[in-house]
Amino acid sequence: MVFIKIKHILMKELAIIYKWDVLIMNTKLKVKYLYWFIYMMNLLIIIFLSISIYNTSYKICEDFKARSFLESAKYLPLIPSKIPLYTISLMLILGLSAIVKSFFHQKNIYIVILTILFDIIICIYITYYLNYSYKGMFLFLAATILLYVSLTDIRMILLISTLITYILLDYDLLSVNANIVSFQNYINYYPEQTRMYLYSIKNILTSLNEILFFFLAISMLQAKIRENKIYIELNNQLKEANKKLESYAQESMQNAKMKERNRLAREIHDILGHSLTSIATGLEAVLELLEVNFDVAKSQLIKIQEIAKKGLVDVRRSVKELKIDSIEKYALIPAVEKLIEEVNQFQGTKVTFSLEGNVMKMNGDEEQTIYRVVQESITNAIRHGRAQHIEVKFSFEYYQLNIVIKDDGIGCSAIQKGFGLMHMEERIRMLDGTVEFDSLEGKGFTTKLLIPIRWGNAYD
């Protein structure tokens, strides 16, 4: 019962842990979806800006307005066809780097750090190729650091480095000392309405990227807070479970002590009961023989003395090791035959033994229980039933042993189970077997046992 309670508590705690693990995993999964959505947003913005610069450059050339454009720009821009090629390729490499980090962030932190440093260089080049008109990919890089760098100090250093780079690559700051062709220079080529559409698209996409990053940061913060709360709650539940387990462990220890005491009581009861019954029966026979044949009576007294000594040895061994002398020296069947031979040496009671089927190999606890049950049944038949004849029959069948012990004693109209019968039932239940008692007044007493044999597929 105690072990069932302990099992129930452990299963309950495992279910709670699994539930929280699933919740944490779902939260982390949502954060990762948001992270990759930010990446796709940055990729979309870079495609829009690079294609816009590329198309505008060729439109200017087709309209023969390159001279006026260069005069307004005061700087020779990059070759237009290279801008989409370089920026989109670098952005795809940035995505590949994010996949590498997702694979190694729990295995090798140094690979993650190196790839982030590489990412900073990629973002600088993308910003350069876009004429410093967009640097939102640094927000994606900051999200990468928050997501994949677990060491607090290193995370802080990388975030500060990213933030400094983000500030230094500002167009207004750089254009003071350098001639840079801004995205506005390209947009100014178009009519006012077209310029408005292009600016609107750029601003909307840039704002969405910033909002997504804001949501990602909030989600990660909430996930961390929720994770801490879960761990605190789980820790409290585990402490409570540990208290219960300690209580049940104490109860289990007490039950084990009680079980051991009961087992010791059974052993002493069986050994003393059998030995004292044999001694009492033998003494009765000796008293009758003293007046008839002194030599035979003396011989019987010597046998009684041997039984008394053997019983004392068995009691001492049971107290010390709870083992059975007969089963130590003999296998089950020879031990039972030896027991019956000892009983038959005294006048007044005759015990017969029969065996059917192939004898199966059994474990020590099975042999010990069967031996004690036979011993107790014979003792009860002699002591309480005053039987003249006892039949013991063993029938080995497929994976089971049937035992019938029948006597011709006085019997009883109503079976009242005392210490011996109750502990006999307890012994058999421990082997997952069954026991039945049957008796009628003047018709003797019958004990039927069915014991499953765990090693029934192996035969002597």
The pLDDT, as a whole number, for residue 180 is 65
CB distance 441 to 410 below 8 Å? yes
Question: Residue 15: pLDDT band by 50, 70, 90 thresholds?
Answer: low
Stretch 349-369: mean pLDDT:
85
What pLDDT is attached to residue 325?
Answer: 46
Decide: 424 and 435 in contact? Cβ < 8 Å.
yes
Query: CA-based Rg of the chain, rounded to a whole angstrom?
Result: 46
Cβ burial of 189 (10 Å; 0-12, 13-18, 19+) is middle
* pLDDT band at residue 422 using 50, 70 and 90 as cut-offs: confident
- Percentage of the chain with pLDDT > 90? 13
CB 45, CB 209: distance < 8 Å: yes
Nearest to 382 by CA among 274, 265, 271: 274
Say how far apart CA 116 and CA 106 lie, in whole Å: 15
Residue 113 CB: number of other CB atoms within 10 A?
19
- CA-based end-to-end distance of the chain: 37
- Structure confidence at residue 274 (pLDDT): 62
- State the pLDDT at residue 40: 92
73 vs 94: CA distance, rounded Å? 30
Domains and CATH numbers, the chain: 2-243 (no CATH), 348-460 (3.30.565.10)
Q: Give the residue with greater pLDDT, 24 vs 49.
A: 49
The counts of H helices and E strands in the chain are 14, 5
> What digits encode the pLDDT tens for the residues 303-348?
777 777 676 666 666 655 444 444 555 588 888 888 888 888 765 6
Name the more confident of 158 and 182.
158
Tens-place pLDDT, residues 111-132: 888 999 999 999 999 988 888 8
Model confidence at 458, pLDDT cuts 50, 70, 90, reads very low
Per DSSP, what are the bridge partners of residue 395? 356, 402
Helix boundaries (H) for 63-136: 66-73, 82-104, 109-129
Q: Which residue has the higher pLDDT, 52 or 240?
A: 52
- Identify which has the larger pLDDT, 369 or 79: 369
Backbone angles phi, psi at 355, to 5 degrees: -135, 130
Strands (E), 322-388: 350-356
How confident is the model over 47-74, as a mean pLDDT? 69
Q: What is the mean pLDDT of residues 254-266?
A: 63
Query: Which residue from 373, 410, 404, 409 is spatially nearest to 391, judged by alpha carbons?
Result: 404
pLDDT at 52 over 50: yes
- Mean pLDDT over 6-14 rounds to 57
Q: 112 is written with which tokens?
A: 């993650």
Among 55, 120, 132, residue whose Cα is nearest residue 90: 120
Question: Average pLDDT, stretch 228-256?
Answer: 68
Q: Residue ranges of the alpha helices (H) in 105-191?
A: 109-129, 137-148, 152-168, 171-174, 183-187
Q: Which positions ≥6 away from 167 have C-beta within 8 Å? A: 173
CA 187 to CA 264: how far, in whole Å? 99
> Which is more confident, 190 or 446?
446
Gap between the Cα atoms of 266 and 286, Å rounded: 29
Residue written as tokens 């009765």?
284
Distance CA 66, CA 326 (A): 114
Query: Is there a contact between 189 and 71 (Cβ–Cβ < 8 Å)?
Result: no
Average pLDDT of the chain is 77
